Amino acid sequence: MKLNIGVLAGDGIGPEIVAQAQKAIDAVAAKFNHEVVYTPALVGATAIDQVGDPYPEETHEICMKSDAVLFGAIGDPKFDNDPKAKVRPEQGLLAMRKKLGLYANIRPVTTFPSLLEKSPLRLDIVEGADLVVVRELTGGIYFGDKGRSEDLTKAFDNCVYTKEEIERILKLAFSYAEKRDKRLTVVDKANVLATSRLWREIAQAMEPEYKDIEVDYMFVDNAAMQLIQWPKKFDVMVTENMFGDIISDEASVITGSLGLLPSASVGVHTSVFEPIHGSYPQAAGKDIANPVATILSAAMLLESLDLLEEAKAIREAVNKSLEAGVVTEDISKEKAYKTSEVGDWIAKEIAG
């Protein structure tokens, strides 16, 4: 099979970690006889610096033509400290999501037994936790009308959802639940928000189509609390854009594996695969960042193209690297490997 992969390495540690994921994909391609064509493109602060636009048209065209996109990270502190900055790297991310129709962000949260002691929670709480957060990504308050009054003393952000948008994401969440433990939690704020009430109404109307799925509804504040008290209670959580932003960050630290967790943004035109962590600018160029989340994102990418054996080969090699202690300094201070060494080890393990 021929795979066309757009490569948007982005900022900070992006280029280093994406390079390791490419090594894993190359190893898989050699083993399973696939041809891979990578097309690099600019995004984020790097794109602002070079062409003045965080998601240039050329990058968009490359994504549209790709079977899937491998994404590193974006963000640069020089923009965070400048509240008046006209263009920000984050705008590139939002533009990409909207233009590619990336309506769902999928974040699986799994435990890695050898790392459980890194969790801020007690072992008995996290051991065996295994959940997926499905976040709506192109609607809600992120994309509603926003602005300021003329005298600048008032600001607003509208939260809007349509039936189609809600049905689409719920359908995807139900299908994840069907493949997993058949439990779905719809997270909302239906006691206060009109959009949440519409979400709940639509989810309830869909329930009869999925009789084997146990559905429950939880207000987001309560869900945030229960998620750290009883993470094992959850299988698939589905929620709107901003709640999902917050809940998925919370979920990602539960298992102590922040540097290891991948994500997929499922789209209408193509899908984008990226680690859940950010651009970690302090580590840029030092060859110390953990590449595993990006390598596992490559596994999700292959899965999305139905290359299940190939994805499994990556996951198994990653598990072996963790068991063998071939890990970066965030995981082991005593014997830390470099980013590139971990990438080489995993690629070699895949090759067999």
Q: Which residues are catalytic?
A: 142, 189, 221, 245, 249
Between 93 and 342, name the residue whose CB sits nearer to ligand IPM.
93
Q: Which residue in 16, 245, 310, 330 binds Mn ion (CB under 5 A)?
A: 245
- CA 9, 11, 245, 296 dihedral sign is positive
d(CA 108, CA 229): 18
Binding site feature residues for substrate? 97, 107, 135, 221
Chosen from ligand IPM, Mn ion, none, partner binding at 67 (C-beta under 5 to 8 Å by type): none
Choices 130-138, 218-226, 243-251, 312-320 (CB under 5 A): range interacting with Mn ion: 243-251
Size, binding site for Mn ion by CB under 5 A: 1
* Per CB under 5 A, 136 contacts Mn ion: no
The nearest distance, CB 93 to ligand IPM, in angstroms, is 5
* Per CB under 6 A, 109 contacts ligand IPM: no
Q: Which residues contact 249 (CB under 8 A, 6 or more apart)?
A: 276
Choices 118-126, 225-233, 238-246, 273-281 (CB under 5 A): range interacting with Mn ion: 238-246
- Strands 236-239 and 130-136: what pairing? parallel
Tokens read off for 280: 């970690």
Between 93 and 254, name the residue whose CB sits nearer to ligand IPM.
93
d(CA 268, CA 255): 31
Q: How many CB atoms lie within 10 A of CB 108?
A: 20
Q: Distance between terminal CA atoms of the chain?
A: 21
The nearest distance, CB 42 to ligand IPM, in angstroms, is 17
Q: Which residues contact 76 (CB under 8 A, 6 or more apart)?
A: 11, 12, 44, 45, 89, 279, 281
Amino acid at 133: V
* Per CB under 6 A, 250 contacts ligand IPM: no
Between 245 and 349, name the residue whose CB sits nearer to Mn ion.
245
Q: What 3-state class would DSSP assign to 133?
A: strand
Between 11 and 16, name the residue whose CB sits nearer to ligand IPM.
11
Amino acid at 158: N
Between 11 and 349, name the residue whose CB sits nearer to ligand IPM.
11
Element holding 221 (H helix, E strand): helix 220-229
* Residues 76-95, mask of contacts with Mn ion (x by CB under 5 A): --------------------
Q: Which residue in 53, 90, 207, 303 binds ligand IPM (CB under 6 A)?
A: 90
* Per CB under 6 A, 11 contacts ligand IPM: no
Q: Which residues contact 33 (CB under 8 A, 6 or more apart)?
A: none
Instruction: List contacts with Mn ion (CB under 5 A).
Output: 245
